[in-house]
Structures are given as C-alpha cells and as structure tokens.
Amino acid sequence: MNSFRFYLFSLFLGFLTLSCNDNEVDLTSDFKDIPVVYGLLDASEDSNWVRVNKAFLGDGNALVFAQIADSLNYPNLQVALLKINKSSNTTEDSLPLQKTTDAILKDTGLFAGNSNVLYLTTSPIDKNYLYKLVIFNPDNLKRTEAITNIAGSTIFNYPNSPSVALNWEPNTNNKVVSFQWTCNASSNLQAYQFELTFIYDEFLQSNPNNRVRKSFTNRYALIPNTDCQQNLIRLPITKQEFYSSVANNLPIDQTKGREFIQIDISVYGAAKEFYDYLVINKPSSSVVPRATDYTNIPGGKGIFSSRSQLHMTGLKLNSITIDSLRGGQYTSELNFVN
C-alpha cells in the first residue's frame, strides 16, 4: 500500500476505533451485523485486496476487544466481485475472492495484528466495466453490496521520459518546475495526489566507499479534477520549495557526506467515492473528534472504490541544479559531493 493507501488506511483504523466507541449506541439494543469494508480496486495491479471486518460491541473496554481477532473477523463470509456491462447493466462475470490470513502482515496498533483476514482476486480488473462487491454471510443470510467505476489511467506530459534532467535554476527563487499529467472526464478520476521521492547515498566522510542508500518522499495536497485545464493537471514546485524540502529532510552532520542518485515521481488517482471519503475525512481543526460521515456500503460502513497509479523512476538533475544542491544557500551544509 502506498500514498493514498497509507492515508486511507490510517483513516480506516480511526474510523474503526470510533465505530467501537460511539456514544450514541444503545447498549440494550439487539445485535446488528454491520460489516466494515475497505477496498480499492486498481486496474494496474496483478492482485486486488478487499478487507471486510465486523463492527463489534461488548460489555467492557472496546480497546480490549479490538485486540481479539475473533472480535474483528467473520468466520464464514463469501465475497465476490461482479463484472457489470455499463451499457446493458448486465453481469458478465463473477469473480470469487479468496479468503487469506496473514498474506499481508498488519502493522502493530490498537487492533489485533494476528489473523489479518483479507479477500484476494488475481483476475484482471477492466476499467471499461463497473464492479459490484457482494458480501454474503451464510450465518445470518445477510447480503451486502457496493458498486464502483474503475479509475482510468493517466500519462506524464512533463517529464515525458526518465532522460529529462530536472532544472530548478537559473539563480532565482521564481524558477519553477511544472510537473504535468493528463486528465479528462472519461477517466473516472476525481482527484490526484503527487509524490516526489528524493534518493541519495549517505556515507561517513572518513569512509566514503561504505555507502547507505536513503530517501525521503514529499506528498503533495490532493488536486481535484476540476483543476484540469486543456486536459492537463499542472503542479508547480518552485526552486525554494525544492531545496528547502531537501534541507528540511536531511539533518546537518559534518561527519557525513551525501551523493544525489535520482528522483522518482508518482501520481495516484482517486475515483469519486474514494475522493469523497478523503475530503470528508480530512483532518479537522476541531478539538472534538467526529465519527466518519461517509460510507458507500449500504447496510455497512467503509469504502469500496478504485484508484490508479503512475510512476516514473530514475530522473536526474541538470548540472546547474546539482551545483546548487552542493553549494547553494539552502543545502550547502549537507555536504553533497556531486
């Protein structure tokens, strides 16, 4: 899982916590089966995963129940994707999802890390179709459904090749590198997030041959598709922003030297439901936390949507930018050697 995935996953965990501690729950009411779903389909991936947990309530501390895997997992779910023709609204294929346990290890936290149950399909996802998620619980005959368009792909307009050398010079703070990628309404993409990863080697000045590969990643704010102009999204990064980000992410240490290796860039696209979820669940300035307001799971909670991803690796800096990285006002104390 990456940028969007990490962001949504943290929101998802927070949502589960709030679901378990809702102040308005009637403790004397009958039990309700409420599935909590997290699924983002990606047509570029060989494997797609859907997570289905159950909301729970018991006598005692909810945080204790959260550490018990049986409190989170259904024993006998049947999960499938239906591939639906957009024109005829007919189902053309049914893709059963395989139940897996600990195929992906869960990070430590509030919720049980063992028995991490996920549902997997390795069938190709076709962006020209709708996909309906169907969850059937044979223990109570409850059927839960959700549907999504598939996010389409995009391409980089600038840079259009890894051979392009990025240039944050001449020597003016008004210098801008404008990253650009295609956008159009037919792609089912509602928003984009851009990542820039700066990769470098670090070594002791006393032993320059013993190097450690390191990196940092800057994730930029969501850009809505309404910013699409002439079929392009543009993200300008100024000279000051670029060099300051390097200075802010690398500590000054005169015993160490660094060598720039490359820049990798990525764009992640979100379908409508995913974008709505992110906007509604963005961090609040209020001191009073609020429970998640958005779900597109009828009879349940959570999100079933899609995303896309685009990557370009191995970008270099031009020689003047390298010179400024080594001796410029923002980064001269970081001891770049190239």
pLDDT digits (tens, 9 = 90+) for 71-129: 578 888 999 999 999 999 999 999 999 999 877 666 554 444 557 889 999 999 999 99
Instruction: Indicate whether 196 and 296 sit together in one domain.
Output: no
Instruction: Indicate whether 172 and 142 sit together in one domain.
Output: no
Q: How many domains does the chain have?
A: 2
Instruction: Indicate whether 178 and 317 sit together in one domain.
Output: yes
In three-state secondary structure terms, 186 is helix
**Whole domain around residue 186: which residue ranges?**
156-269+311-334
Asked whether the beta carbons of 203 and 174 are under 8 A apart, the reply is no
pLDDT (mean) for 215-223: 96
Instruction: Indicate whether 276 and 265 sit together in one domain.
Output: no
Nearest to 34 by CA among 149, 147, 140, 148: 140
Instruction: Indicate whether 212 and 257 sit together in one domain.
Output: yes
Nearest to 3 by CA among 290, 289, 288, 219: 219
pTM recorded for the entire structure: 0.80
Instruction: Indicate whether 226 and 95 sit together in one domain.
Output: no
pLDDT attached to residue 278: 85
Between 139 and 246, whose confidence is greater? 246
Instruction: Indicate whether 89 and 162 sit together in one domain.
Output: no
The mean predicted confidence, pLDDT, of the chain is 84
Instruction: Indicate whether 196 and 286 sit together in one domain.
Output: no
- Residue whose token pair is 């290796």: 261
Instruction: Indicate whether 205 and 317 sit together in one domain.
Output: yes
Instruction: Indicate whether 143 and 288 sit together in one domain.
Output: yes
Instruction: Indicate whether 8 and 109 sit together in one domain.
Output: yes
Instruction: Indicate whether 162 and 92 sit together in one domain.
Output: no
Asked whether the beta carbons of 99 and 77 are under 8 A apart, the reply is yes
CA distance readout (Å), 183 to 40, 62, 135, 186, 274: 20, 44, 33, 9, 17
